[in-house]
Structure 1
């Protein structure tokens, strides 16, 4: 029995996300919150965290990373999709439009990573070393 508890403790110490998710899920059920409202609140929290991360990064490095801005918009739009799909009278045009905008932002995010100034500089240096 002692070994079982030590295995469980070791598992949760390495995988604290599972423990956090289980605690949050239990609180949602016990408090009687509607699940979609809890998800919306968590997504809003993530948006706030990303904004704070972006501002902190800007203050420290004097640069604004496009990836952080795009991530914030993607998360915010996902939140809107969840809200719109939870309504009894769904506006499918709005949902499809938001999904299209999310798709476009994902393409921008991929391009922002691929053509990042740091990556381009790194690729040029490798190419010069090989020549």
Structure 2
């Protein structure tokens, strides 16, 4: 019995996301919040976090990462898809269009990661002056 309790404790110590999700889910049930509205609010929170991360990174490094911008758009579009699918009368054309745009942004994200310049590919000012 002690081994089982220790395994459970180790699982929660290493996977705090599961514990946090369980607590949030219990709060949603206890307060009787609308589940779709809660998901939309969480996605909006994630968008705000990504925007703040992008601004912070821009201030610190004086460069804007394309990956952050694409992530923000993807999360925002997923939020819109959830909103449109939760309506009683669904506009399937809009939903399919948004899913297509999300696919395009995922392709852009993959390309942005694959073809992002590494530190060794970026020339310093001295190297540019030498050429």
Instruction: Please report the TM-score for the alignment, with normalisation by the length of structure 2.
Output: 0.86
Q: Distance in 2 between matches of 1:36 and 1:10?
A: 32
How many equivalent pairs are there? 122
What residue number does 1:110 align with?
110
Q: Equivalences for 1:20-35 in 2 at 5 Å?
A: 20-35=20-35
Q: Which has the higher helix share?
A: 1
Q: Distance in 2 between matches of 1:90 and 1:119?
A: 47
Displacement after TM superposition at 1:119 (Å): 7.4
Identify the residue that residue 42 of structure 1 maps to in structure 2: 42
| Unaligned segments of structure 2, at least 5 residues | 123-131
Distance in 1 (alpha carbons) for counterparts of 2:79 and 2:63: 27
CA RMSD of aligned residues (A): 1.7
Runs of 4+ in 1 over 6 A off after TM superposition: none
Deviation string for 1:74-115 (max 9, x for gaps)?
A: 000000000000000111111111111111111111111111
